[in-house]
Amino acid sequence: MFIPIVLLSLLYFATIFFGGAHLWVQTPLILFLFFFTLAILWQQTFKKPQSYPLQVPVIRDPVFWVGLLFLLWTVLSLIPLPPDLLRVISPKAFEIWNGTRSVGGEFPHPLSLYPYMTVNSWIFGLFLLAFYQLALWGIRSRRQIHWLVVGLMGLGTLESLYALGQVATARPYVLWWLKDVSQEVATGSFIYRNHFACFLAMIICLGVGYLWALGKEHQEKNFPNKQALVYRAGVHMGSLGIRGIIILLVLAMMIAALLVTASRGGVLTLLAGLIIMGLLLATRFFKSQKTVILLLALSLICTYVGFVALDRVLERFQSFELGFEDRMALAQETFRIGREFPVSGTGLGTFEFVYPAYQARHLEALGDYAHNDWVQLFAETGSIGLLILGGGFIWFMGRSIALWRKRRDPFKIGLGLGGLGAMVTVSLHSLSDFNLHLPANALLLALIAALTWSVLNSPGSEGREKAPPARAVLKVPLWAAIPFLTLLTFFFGALSLRTFQVWQADTLARTVWNSTLPFNEPTDSDLLKAWTLAPGNARYWGWLASRVTEKPALVGQVDDRIHKGIGDLNLYLLGQGIVRNPTAWNMWRDFAWTAFFKAGKEPKTYFPLAEQASLQASRFRPYAFSGHLDSGMIGLASYTRQGGKGEKKSWMEAFNRALSLNPDLSPRVADQVLLYLGPGGAKELTGILPKETKSYLLTGVHLLKQGIYKEGLEYLRQGEHYREREIERLWEEALPARAGSLDKRKDILEQLRILDPRYPGLLLAQGSLLEALKSQDRRHGVLGALWDRKELAWNLKLLEEQKQGSFTEIAYFLGRVAEEEGDLKNARFQFHRAIQHNPQFFPAWVRLEKVLKQTLRSDGDRVELENLQKKLGLYEMDRVVGDAWVLEGVFERLPAWKAPFRNGNRLSRLEIDFSGEPSGAWKLILDGRFVSAWAGSRYSGEKKIMIPEGEHEFKLIHFKESNKIKFEKLPFRLAIKFN
């Protein structure tokens, strides 16, 4: 029982302390298991007299051979390869490593893009394989298996009680740590709820199989003959015994704990595992094909219903962690990594460092895992690594199911069934999370796999007490065993020493994520020690480079440890960090700016270095604007330093890419271009700005404020043109039939709001019906183009019944809808209602006058029409006089004036006559629509624009800081005539 106790102790330790997520938990586990394994091997070697050869039991199981083959494959990625061979195996890796030549990198290089992390991950993989083999070798009897299962159920019980306590007390703590994620749901002693849910799901599947075994054994003892099914079921449920009842209660508790995690993936994959277990039982004990088909159909229906129900129940938790669309996007981006490194991958453990080059969403948070273990496996180890582990999983499952179908012992059937269900559960859940990167889950899976294989491969007659798997005995002479174990001891010792040094370095200067301890900036001496202990950690080199810049006293200490005189220590340290991790975009960026600031003295040396490094930084994080902005700024500076004789395409493309990602940078880019190229550089912006609204508008406004009127007006007018086209396109995409998901439609509507907050369709989508109709009436004059007229009328009547909104406006728009429908009698009635409620409502006068002309029947109608035409003639306007403008205030940080006007007939053209300050630029807007823009003290022009009948408002914006405007009197005179 000693080995099972050790195995359970390691699992308990990893589980209780945050699922083993942190380095300070993993390191003791690895060190203990390595030394314990060596002790067992040496003890077995000298267990018998030296005259006997050493008898080594060899267990022929898929997991060991697959694991060994996978470790051999991944360790090959650490071997430096000649450039020609590296180019053949992984052209992308060759390209990346070749880029480090500018900072001191030299071939040969390995396939792994960050060997330090690959070694760390490889050691953890070896630890898991050793744990599995120890479990497989140490399980020797049915009694041990019983106690192991009981121990796992006990661990599940403790975790479930703790999780239920978290929910009951509403304390968002895990041990002493205040959770910053999943605060409102249970996580047990884990950090993430999905990892905890997967952990429980594996134990539940194993527990269900164990309970079935207990019940089946009891059934065969008490019901040797056929009896009534109902009678047997009732007696069976009442006679499980104390152990069965306890297991049943524990399972119920664990299921409750899993549900309160609100993990949809955990619940659905558990359901899938239980369905597979049910199907296995059905195909074995129900020979009828119809029964199997029926059970399969019912299982699929239950799965679908469960998914729909859970989607509704867990709706309030959808804001937590990653949603389905985000996970799919993350998986697709990770798959792109695998496609670019198809054979060997990027190296085990390198995902979080390579991924920024492919991350197109949620750039504010860099991903450390792909939330899909299978796709991440493909990205890190290539198609061969995926084939090894994926094929190994299929081999294990196929072989185990074949063996399971041959067994007759209820104990073996039940435990084998539970193990297979757990394997299915974790393999499916790994499609949507990174469960197997958590030590607790990985150790539990390894232990369950060992239990499953041991039970299903036990030799001898059924029901026999001894239950070890089938073994072959390899006789090794002592003279050969001792040298082999000596080498193995040195090997494990070297790995243990390195593991301990990495842990020690991280305690001095933390570079590994740890949620349980606050981060403290390391002292200079601690950083130097950490750098010495773990020189493969690229971040220590970059850290030292920044410290050396700030503290010149460190230069001597660092130089002594390097054992060579370095001319430029900052660049050397950054370069060495890059050579260890060539995808470190942040170090490339630091290298670029460090070289840039040194270029004043030696431009021919440092400008090319800075340009090349900035391009690499943007390459390894292409969807973040900052790297492209840096590259453009450095390239522009280098271009001007060479007198404009160099290549300007690269820095223009860099600026263009930055603005495509973040148009708000337009003023900043314009400033850089003007700074280096002078006012004439405004023309170069045409080749930089992406063909979209915001960049052109912001650039135009910025140039106008700077007094660069010609180009500023061109960019402003072009931006307004792009705005109109983009609004039309977005509204088409926002239609429910095209938008697809609700989230996508919300995103499109938000873009519309930014472009035009008074756009009729946007207002309608926001539920502001009257505002939408008012905007549509003023801009286009046809309400039916906005929405179905019957729907409009129904909703307007509903507003009237609920007394929401202006009665005058509701009656007016009911009349407008009726008019467009051809129901002139109703239209006339509604316009009369609007005027009765507000006799001065000009739009109703206009529409009523047109309706009266078409429905003229009596002398009373003629009198009413004549009176209405007199009022219209009195109140409508044929121009806006020059002094009709009143100050509106500040609009988009610019001073603005407004002037209302009324027109009784549709207009198609207006004439502008402006005089004002000798300098400055102006923009004229009508009901939110761009009309014209000009600069200077005098401007006259004509503009074709359709203006429907009714009330309207002009707005004039001055491109000058509002605090520089004197508001006592109008600084301009603007008259507008209509035709």
- DSSP assigned state of 664: G
> What are the phi and psi torsion angles at 977 (to 5°)?
-105, 150
Torsion of CA 502, 506, 509, 514, to 10 degrees: 150
CA dist 924 and 931 (Å) reads 5
Please answer whether residues 838 and 817 qualify as being in contact, where contact means their C-beta atoms are separated by less than 8 angstroms. no
DSSP three-state, residue 625: helix
- DSSP assigned state of 519: -
pLDDT at 109: 94
Please answer whether residues 582 and 113 qualify as being in contact, where contact means their C-beta atoms are separated by less than 8 angstroms. yes
- DSSP for 549-602, please give it: HH-TTHHHHHHHHHTS--SSHHHHHHHHHHHH-TT-HHHHHHHHHHHHHHTTT-
Please answer whether residues 934 and 713 qualify as being in contact, where contact means their C-beta atoms are separated by less than 8 angstroms. yes
CA dist 265 and 288 (Å) reads 33
CA dist 429 and 265 (Å) reads 6
CA dist 118 and 353 (Å) reads 12
What are the tokens at 268? Answer: 């659905």
Q: Facing residues of 977 across strands?
A: 879, 911
What are the tokens at 797? Answer: 């009547």
CA dist 405 and 420 (Å) reads 12
What are the tokens at 364? Answer: 């504010």
What are the tokens at 749? Answer: 């509507």
CA dist 256 and 251 (Å) reads 9
Q: Which amino acid is at 426?
A: V
Closest CA relative to residue 410, chosen from 542, 538, 220: 220
Bond from prior residue into 468 cis (ω within 30 degrees of 0): no
- DSSP assigned state of 957: E
Bond from prior residue into 28 cis (ω within 30 degrees of 0): no
CA dist 367 and 513 (Å) reads 12
Please answer whether residues 469 and 61 qualify as being in contact, where contact means their C-beta atoms are separated by less than 8 angstroms. yes
Please answer whether residues 457 and 415 qualify as being in contact, where contact means their C-beta atoms are separated by less than 8 angstroms. no
Tokens 């009523």 -> residue: 848
Alpha carbon distance, N-terminus to C-terminus of the chain = 100
Tokens 């900036």 -> residue: 521
CB atoms within 10 A of CB 135: 24
Q: In which region does residue 108 sit, left (phi positive, over 0), alpha (psi from -120 to 50) or beta (all else)? A: beta
CB atoms within 10 A of CB 515: 15
Please answer whether residues 256 and 220 qualify as being in contact, where contact means their C-beta atoms are separated by less than 8 angstroms. no
pLDDT at 113: 95
Closest CA relative to residue 646, chosen from 638, 658, 634, 654: 638
| Cβ neighbours of residue 130 closer than 8 Å, sequence gap 6 or more | 33, 34, 37
pLDDT in tens, 507-546: 999 888 887 777 788 888 899 999 999 999 999 999 998 8
CA dist 68 and 537 (Å) reads 27
Closest CA relative to residue 244, chosen from 139, 150, 141, 142: 150
pLDDT at 646: 59
DSSP three-state, residue 506: helix
* CA-derived radius of gyration, the chain: 38
> What are the phi and psi torsion angles at 354 (to 5°)?
-90, -30
Please answer whether residues 118 and 78 qualify as being in contact, where contact means their C-beta atoms are separated by less than 8 angstroms. yes
- DSSP for 8-53, please give it: HHHHHHHHHTGGG-SHHHHHHHHHHHHHHHHHHHHHHHTSS-TTSP
Q: What is the 3-state secondary structure (H, E, C) of 75-126?
A: HHCCCCECHHHHHHHCHHHHHHHHHHHHHCCCCCECCCCCHHHHHHHHHHHH
| Segments in the chain below pLDDT 70 | 1, 47-60, 182, 216-241, 284-324, 363-364, 459-481, 559-560, 563-567, 644-648, 737-740, 961-968
- DSSP assigned state of 470: P
